[in-house]
């Protein structure tokens, strides 16, 4: 079946370093990819998205890269801060008003 998955369950980084979170997806028909951040006891919070016709998209301190050839998605966080500590999920959807399929979350822990 279709699935979206993350390679690593946890990631520990030093404050100020850059973080890279990776995600693999299997549905080649996916058109839209999103990264969500979830803090304890809260709902997923939108970070950044990218459409299938793009390779890279930058936001504030975050960059999402999409490699459709190998069905790989990554989230780069520059100058990681303690407030970035959370669980990160990648998600994909085939298009508008369609459900999101989430990958397995990865916990980002920022060391002071």
Site of interaction with other proteins (CB under 8 A): 32, 34, 36, 41-46, 49, 89, 93, 95-105
Minimum Å distance from CB 38 to other proteins?
9
| CA 108/CA 20 separation, integer angstroms | 10
| CA 90/CA 43 separation, integer angstroms | 14
Residue with smaller CB distance to other proteins, 53 or 99: 99
Three-state DSSP state, 84: helix
Residue with smaller CB distance to other proteins, 36 or 64: 36
Residue with smaller CB distance to other proteins, 77 or 106: 106
For residues 47 and 109, the answer to whether their CB atoms sit within 8 Å is no
Minimum Å distance from CB 6 to other proteins?
9
Residue with smaller CB distance to other proteins, 86 or 105: 105
Minimum Å distance from CB 103 to other proteins?
6
Residue from 1, 64, 2, 70 nearest 30 by CA = 2
| CA 21/CA 33 separation, integer angstroms | 14
């Amino acid at each position: 079946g279709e699935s979206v998955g993350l390679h690593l369950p946890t990631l520990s980084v030093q404050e100020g370093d850059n973080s890279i979170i990776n995600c693999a997806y299997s549905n080649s028909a996916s058109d839209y990819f999103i990264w969500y951040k979830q803090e304890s006891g809260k709902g997923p919070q939108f970070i950044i998205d990218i459409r299938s016709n793009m390779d890279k998209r930058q936001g504030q301190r975050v960059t999402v890269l999409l490699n459709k050839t190998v069905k790989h998605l990554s989230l780069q966080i520059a100058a990681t801060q303690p407030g970035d500590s959370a669980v990160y999920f990648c998600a994909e959807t085939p298009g508008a008003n369609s459900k999101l399929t989430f990958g397995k979350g990865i916990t980002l822990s920022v060391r002071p």
